[in-house]
Structure 1
Amino acid sequence: MKYIQLTEQYRPYVSLIQLNRPKELNALNMELMQELQQTLTTLDADTNVRVIIITGNEKAFAAGADIKQMADKKTIDMVAIDQFKTWDLIKKTKKPLIAAVSGFALGGGCELAMTCDMIVASETAKFGQPEIKIGIMPGAGGTQRLTKAIGKAKAMEMVLTGSFISAEEALNYGLINKIVPVELYLEETAKLAETIAAMSPVAAQLAKEAVNRAFETHLDEGLHFERKNFYLTFSSEDQKEGMKAFIEKRNPEYQGK
């Protein structure tokens, strides 16, 4: 595996997946997401695994999607690529998923953390959906899961301004489970995972399914709507300008076209 590292028995019945693109702050390119999805599918079928942790490093859980892979794409290109098929398969993971987040969890990184069932964050964690700053909008659940987790007003502010929230704010809003010191965030996540792994794996999977059913009522409809609008942003000149400016490390000049 090129973009992730797997420790199958990080703790008894607990596997650890570490995103491994440190120079890119673990930006989620399509290859990484495919590796992640395939690994989760394998672990989901492994009876020696009951809980799965996904983490990055102290500096970044994942600082967003890989913009260079999308910058020159048009709407029809994005539909043809169908990158969200991978996300849909990740969402179907039956075993409990825990995100161990330190540093940046932005854009796709925030969406990946929210796809997990629980989030343990270090004191340095920052969450955000800054896609608006490059002329697009969230496309992997950001407008849907974030709104359901923290409410319309704050979600609208984050999505429309691209602003970040701290770990403390995320805890207050109900986005995460707990905050721990940076040096302990992975250890505390492992303790939570071990507690869950000690329970009946059948009951845990059924309970997860039931909780998600309550949380995700009408979510698929919302995701479909979000995805359509995400694809439409690639018909805009603003999207091209926003991503080009990002790559060129300058401020974008939007024309509203």
Structure 2
Amino acid sequence: MSHRRRDRCWRLDPVRGRSRTSGGGLVTRVGQVLIDRVGSVVHARLDRPDVRNCIDFGIIEGLERAVEMARADASVLVVRGSGGHFCAGADLDLVRGLIGDRKGLAAYVTRLIEVLDAIEAGPFASLAAIEGYAVAGGCEMLLACDVVLASTEARIGDRHLEHALLPGAGGSVRLVRALPRAYARWLLQSGEMISGDQAQAWGLAALAVPPDEFESELDRVVNRLASRDRVAMTAVREMARCAEDEPPAAAMQRERELFLDHITTSPNVREQLDGFVKRS
């Protein structure tokens, strides 16, 4: 690897990772992201493998398009990286060029914040499939997703202080909300990385599997999420967000409202319950 390539992303140690072809649909390149649609699932693969998929405007542009596609009528958005890594954070060459340019830096980070917020708030389940490195902006990206599936050999961390930088795309907020105080502050302040299985033990990843089981487990998880009723999935995600952001009484009230609305208006509820009764 050239000196320039090392400088593009975060300072990292060697790690093993694997890649595979896309989900089987028609693959479209938008910016620096490969997007395909397989049934009700949109697959977005960050595709800058020579720099471990570090985030430039092309990555952001591709994610914006993937979110737009998923928002239209998809059940699941899967985000992963090419070349055996998820995402090694911001493109540091780009950031270096924006030193002293507050307006340009704001344009970059604002678009990144907006697309991560859109992933978090979209009417679809979002899944981050983590192999290799997910650090700094890559960690911020996985924190915006509903479900994190990690290889046990993945390396996950904040790492901003490694280069005297700070989180700028929600990392400090989402990490503190996702983890107990001690774990969150350790990752933010130490710059240390944790493995995929440690991320699962801490609650940062829902699932962690060995590399040779990663693809089959990814297929299982995607199929499981895609089989859920989209309207019900959207409602239960809103319930979870209210539970995180609102006082308990307000969250309970919103749960009740969503429950009543869904049971009394969703056509799929009667169909599902009729089928259950017939099978009983």
With normalisation by structure 1, the TM-score equals: 0.77
Aligned: 1:124 with 2:162: no
Partners of 2:107 and 2:77 lie apart in 1 by: 28
Deviation at 1:78, TM superposition (A): 4.8
The residue that corresponds to 2:85 in the other structure is: 60
Q: Given the superposition, is the C-alpha separation of residues 216 and 105 from structure 1 closer, same or farther in structure 2, using an over 3 Å criterion?
A: farther
Question: Which digits, 9 at most, give the CA deviation of each residue in 1:78-100, with x for residues without a partner?
Answer: 56425323422442322110011
CA offset digits 1:51-110 (Å, max 9, x no partner): 111111463100111011111422623564253234224423221100110110000001
Q: Where does residue 259 of structure 2 map in the other structure?
A: none
**Is residue 98 of structure 2 the alignment partner of residue 69 of structure 1?**
no
Q: Which has the larger radius of gyration?
A: 2
**Whole-Å Cα distance in 2 between the matches of residues 86 and 130 of structure 1?**
18
Higher relative contact order (CA 8 A, sep 6+): 1
Between 73-82 and 113-122, report the one with greater CA deviation: 73-82
Q: Distance in 1 between matches of 2:55 and 2:223?
A: 28
Structure 2 match to 1:214: 243
Question: Which blocks of at least 5 consecutive residues in structure 1 are unaligned?
Answer: 219-257
Percentage of pairs with the same residue? 25
Per the alignment, do residues 80 and 62 of structure 1 end up closer, same or farther by CA in structure 2, a change over 3 Å counting? Answer: closer
Counterpart for residue 19 of structure 1: 46
Of residues 202, 205, 221, the one that matches 1:176 is 205
Q: Give the whole-Å Cα distance in 2 for the aligned partners of 1:206 and 1:53.
A: 20
Structure-2 residue corresponding to 1:225? none
Matches of residues 181-220 of structure 1 in structure 2 within 5 Å? Answer: 181-217=210-246
Once the two structures are TM-superposed, the CA of residue 216 in structure 1 deviates from its matched residue by 4.1
Q: Residue 114 of structure 2 corresponds to which residue in structure 1?
A: 88
Q: Any stretches of 5+ residues in structure 2 without a counterpart?
A: 1-29, 248-280
Question: Could you tell me which residue of structure 1 aligns to residue 162 of structure 2?
Answer: 133
The match for 2:69 among 36, 42, 60 is 42
**What is the SS of the residue equivalent to 2:235?**
helix
Aligned to 2:195: 166
Deviation at 1:6, TM superposition (A): 1.3
Structure 2 SS opposite 1:60: coil
Query: Structure 2-normalised TM-score?
Result: 0.71
CA contact (8 A) 2:32 2:46 kept: yes
> Residues 86 and 130 (structure 1 numbering): CA distance in 2 closer, same or farther, change over 3 Å?
closer
Take 1:156 and 1:94, find their aligned partners in 2: how far apart are those partners? Answer: 31
Contact 2:127-2:147 at 8 Å conserved across structures:
yes
State the Cα RMSD in Å: 1.9
